[in-house]
Amino acid sequence: MMLPVQRHCLFRGNLLDALLLTLAMCSLLFGQGQAQQDSRIAELHAEAQAAEARGDLTTATARYEALVRIAPDLSAAYNNLGALYFKQREYGKAITVLKKAIEIDPQLSSASALLGMALFEHGEFAGARAPLETALRSHPDDKNLELFLVNDLTRLGDFEAARGHLEKLKAEDPKNQHVLYLLGNVYIQLAQRTIAEMNAMDPNSVWAHEVSGEILENMKNYDGALIEYKKAVEAAPKQPGTHYKLGDLYWSQSQWEQASSQFEAELANDPANCMAQWKIGNVLLQQSVKPEEALSDMNKALAMCPTLTEARLDRGRLLLRLHRPDEALADLRAAAEAKPGEPTAHFSLAQAYRALGRTQEAQQEMQIFAKLDASARAATAQRAEEVIKSKEAAH
């Protein structure tokens, strides 16, 4: 039987799917530039394919082992034998034959991918990196292969390289929760390493405490973040930003008096901090006290930062409470235009229109509010469900 001669096997589509599903020889085989005519080779190949198709990996493996003994220059045969070893978790054997396949044909990217995977599963993370990177260069769109490389890079502690691959995957699929989960873990590792470096220089510096506080806050460890922000204030009480971070954490936890005190201290260090000025007024608004004083704070904040949408929305809400809907209208319109997806702006705008007797416009704004509010609730529920599924998939 005449066997077709082809130097390379080309897998189309997803490389790893092709490797792990059938991994049959792409075509039959070659030898030193001339077509093989050995009927025994053809017979072994056919038997191996048939055995693998019916799930008899033991027989398929035996046939390929016999094949490489009589035809030791066939890279595709070593590639397929390595794939079968890999599927049976005989990683040491897979590594040996896949290295042979690459030695015969250095361009065989399927063997490089399998070799990297086998080395990884064998615990040889440093050795796995090069063949995985080689395979990915040949198949740059293979997301599964890239994720395998990410896992190897994180085992090696090269979080910066892992970050680069994950950012690429995120750009290609922004809603992939698994990628986002892995990326978040990589950033945590990078942050922890940065903190360790800062602490090695000076564990009591304001910068060390601030970055520690930010990381802990992002991880929702608010008690730990509070301790670090307090230490930052103690280390540099006159440095702009320290009191604001502490106050902002109090503010997010609705600890209004502590928040206001820290924002006042921040303004003493940085009089131009319009965020601190706005939040002083917002605290009064949240407490429903001193509306005139809160309005003054909003005016000061907007004088410093005219485009601060949050302050414009709050000023509009305050003017409504002070029964000045005609004045509130401009701020509320501006807030709704700046943040059309913010439900609160449309709700307050509806109240202003209603107070001015503009019933139709009030109804329109209430309809917008109802749609945005329902959409926001649904999105929150969906994100929570996706996070749970991503964590389950990761485990």
Strands (DSSP E) along the chain, which ranges?
Answer: none
When pLDDT is cut at 50, 70 and 90, the band that residue 71 belongs to is confident
Tell me the C-alpha distance between 259 and 295, whole Å. 18
| 318-341 pLDDT, tens digit each | 999 999 999 999 999 999 999 888
Q: How much is the pLDDT for 328?
A: 95
pLDDT greater than 50 at residue 275: yes
Q: Which whole number is the average pLDDT over 40-44? A: 85
How far is the CA of 308 from the CAs of 140, 241, 246, 262, 344, in angstroms? 43, 18, 21, 20, 16
Choice among 37-46, 287-296, 366-375, 382-391 with the minimum mean pLDDT:
382-391
86-116 confidence digits (pLDDT tens): 999 999 999 999 999 999 999 999 999 999 9
With bands split at pLDDT 50, 70 and 90, how would you rate the model's confidence at 391? low
Asked whether the predicted pLDDT for residue 34 surpasses 80, the reply is no
> What is the structure's pLDDT at 133?
95
Residue appearing with tokens 């201290």: 265
Position 33 confidence tier, pLDDT thresholds 50, 70, 90? very low
Mean pLDDT on 28-46: 62
Where are the domains positioned within the chain?
15-139, 157-201
Q: What is the rounded average pLDDT of the residues 206-212?
A: 90
What percent of the chain has pLDDT above 70?
A: 87
Average pLDDT over residues 292-316: 96
Mean pLDDT for the stretch of residues 206-210: 91
DSSP state of 2: P
- Distance between CA atoms of 273 and 301, rounded to whole angstroms? 8
Please answer whether residues 321 and 289 qualify as being in contact, where contact means their C-beta atoms are separated by less than 8 angstroms.
no
pLDDT higher than threshold 70 for residue 359 = yes
**Residue 203 has what pLDDT?**
83
- Label residue 141 exposed, middle or buried (CB < 10 Å: 0-12, 13-18, 19+): exposed
> Predicted confidence band at 376 (pLDDT cuts at 50, 70, 90)?
confident
Average pLDDT of 219-242?
Answer: 94
pLDDT band at residue 25 using 50, 70 and 90 as cut-offs: very low
Say yes or no to pLDDT of 247 above 50: yes
Q: What is the pLDDT of residue 387?
A: 62
- pLDDT (mean) for 176-195: 89
The reported pLDDT for the residue numbered 393 is 60
Statement: residue 395 has pLDDT above 80: no
pLDDT at position 22 over 70? no
For the segment 126-182, what is each residue's pLDDT rounded down to a tens digit?
999 999 999 999 999 999 999 999 999 999 999 999 999 999 999 999 999 999 999
Q: Which among 96, 97, 88 has a CA at the least distance from the CA of 68?
A: 97
Q: What is the mean pLDDT of the chain?
A: 87
Instruction: Please tell us whether the domain made up of 15-139 is placed in CATH 1.25.40.10.
Output: yes
Q: Residue 56: what pLDDT?
A: 93
What is the share, in percent, of the chain residues with pLDDT greater than 90? 70
Mean pLDDT on 26-44: 57
> For residue 80, is pLDDT > 60?
yes
Q: What six digits make up the tokens of 335?
A: 């807030």
* d(C-alpha 294, C-alpha 288), whole Å: 9
Q: What pLDDT is stored for residue 1 in this prediction?
A: 27
Task: Give the model's pLDDT for residue 392.
Answer: 62
Rg (C-alpha) for the chain, rounded Å, is 32
For range 271-293, the mean pLDDT: 96
Greater model confidence, 31 or 327: 327
